[in-house]
Amino acid sequence: MVYPTMVKQKRAAPPPAPADPRARDGVYLGNSQDRAMRETKIRSQAIMLQNRLQKRYRHLKKWAKLQGTDVFRLYDRDIPEIPLVLDRYGNGVSGALYRRPYEKDDAEERRWLRAMTQSIAAALAIPADQVFLKERKRQRGKAQYQRFRPQGTGCFIQDVHEGGLCFRVNLSDYLDTGLFPDRRKMRRLLREAAAGKRVLNLFCYTGAFSVYAAAGGAAEIDSLDLSNTYLDWAAVNFGLNHFEAHRIKTPEGGPIGLDRPGLPRYRLIRGDVLSFLAQSLRTRLSWDLIILDPPSFSNSKGMQATLDIRRDYRKLISQCLRLLSPRGTLWFSVNAKGFRLNPQDFPGITLQDRYAESIDEDFRGKRMPAWYTFSFKEPGYSIPILGEG
């Protein structure tokens, strides 16, 4: 028998391995070289931030002194690779890191934040433990009111000044500090408009608008918020400015009893704004000036319904308008990106877009919260309750 000759086949060469992302010009750098490159990049960004802050601070500190404020915006993502927003509060800095368009290793992000903290401290000649950088995320439910303090940092609470008034801020324990610098000019103009007015401040937070209204000579002020923490904070802010505000208990946090005689001039009420407005429409209460400065979104446990300002603004505004006195004014502000009102949604109303008036020196070229004022074209005009959407 003749057997066929076996021919040995050559094995095909394996495909080339994909290029290593840590290689430069095809040369593998290794872990130590890779880390060195990243550290060099971090140091370069820290130097860029320090130079930017020094230049900005030289310009703004003179302006701030003339304005009588030690709270102002220092930096707002001016350098794309450094997505921070930094505000000066007295002797400290509160900063927020906004989400990057790409994923970053947690350990590397921590190193980056430490480097930026040192850079900020050096630029402003303050201790690094007076710089607080936090990650900005949407806060929902209880997270909106919970304490937040980065591990290894101490509590940093101080009193700051604006427009001849004093406010307590907390840079360490919460995502927000208690005073928003981008509402500064709005507060200033509110003081000028408040004389002799009955004022209702909805979503009052720490009461800064209410304190400005008191300083402007408001006849009465009702400040409403769902958070006991914020209402206690508002009472402190009133006291710092030699005004006395009192916590008032009303049935279910509603308006019932606010018209009884003998109440204090400045009142702090714990309640759900959505419920308060609905109940108020069944009373004869009215206010001369209503401040509506809601969060963009909230689903806090104590609320009867979720608030989404893009969905609910028409209903909220129309309810407030029905509570205005005939010659009253509604001040509406919201910090929702790209938010715009349609004047056709509110017939019979004079609607003013006051965005340009709210821009101060430290916010030139930056995005600001929307701000509108509403008043009746004809006193006594009947406002329908507009639905959602």
State the amino acid at position 149 in one-letter form: R
Q: Same structural domain for residues 120 and 248?
A: no
Q: Same structural domain for residues 204 and 118?
A: no
Note whether residue 169 is domain-resident: no
Structural tokens at position 5? 């000759």
DSSP at 281: T
Looking at 138, 167, 194, the residue that finishes a domain is 138
DSSP at 82: S
| 303 pLDDT above the threshold of 80 | no
If you count them, how many residues does the chain have?
389
Note whether residue 9 is domain-resident: no
Number of other CB atoms surrounding residue 96 within 10 Å: 19
Note whether residue 157 is domain-resident: no
| 149 pLDDT above the threshold of 90 | no
Note whether residue 79 is domain-resident: yes
Q: Same structural domain for residues 285 and 341?
A: yes
Higher pLDDT, 8 or 31: 31
Tell me the mean pLDDT in the region 140-147: 51
Q: Same structural domain for residues 198 and 333?
A: yes
Q: Same structural domain for residues 185 and 132?
A: no
pLDDT at 107: 86
3-state secondary structure 325-340: EEEEEEEEEECCCCCC
Sign of the CA dihedral with 312 first, then 313, 314, and 318 last: positive
User: Could you please report the per-residue DSSP string of 103-127?
Assistant: ---HHHHHHHHHHHHHHHHHHHT--
Q: Same structural domain for residues 197 and 100?
A: no
The answer to whether residues 34 and 21 touch, using CB atoms and an 8 Å cutoff, is no
Q: Domain count for the chain, please give it.
A: 2
C-alpha closest to that of 231 among 199, 206, 201, 248? 206
Q: Report which secondary-structure segment, H or E, holds 309.
A: helix 309-322
Note whether residue 125 is domain-resident: yes
| 291 pLDDT above the threshold of 80 | yes
The answer to whether residues 259 and 244 touch, using CB atoms and an 8 Å cutoff, is no
Note whether residue 59 is domain-resident: yes
Looking at 138, 163, 192, the residue that finishes a domain is 138
Which range has the worst mean pLDDT, 121-130, 253-262, 359-368? 253-262
| 1 pLDDT above the threshold of 90 | no
Which range has the top average pLDDT, 96-105, 150-159, 340-349, 354-363? Answer: 354-363
How would residue 328 be classed by pLDDT, with cut points 50, 70 and 90?
Answer: very high
Report how far Cα 389 is from the mean position of its chain's Cα atoms.
Answer: 24
Q: Same structural domain for residues 200 and 123?
A: no
pLDDT at 27: 43
Note whether residue 94 is domain-resident: yes
* Three-class SS state of 159: strand
CATH number for the domain spanning 211: value is 3.40.50.150
| 186 pLDDT above the threshold of 50 | yes
Domain hosting 300: range is 180-376
| 25 pLDDT above the threshold of 60 | no
CATH number for the domain spanning 55: value is 3.30.750.80
Q: Same structural domain for residues 131 and 196?
A: no
Average pLDDT score over the chain: 86
Q: Same structural domain for residues 193 and 334?
A: yes
Note whether residue 12 is domain-resident: no
Tell me the mean pLDDT in the region 98-103: 74
Q: Same structural domain for residues 208 and 282?
A: yes
Which range has the worst mean pLDDT, 115-119, 150-154, 159-163, 342-346? 150-154
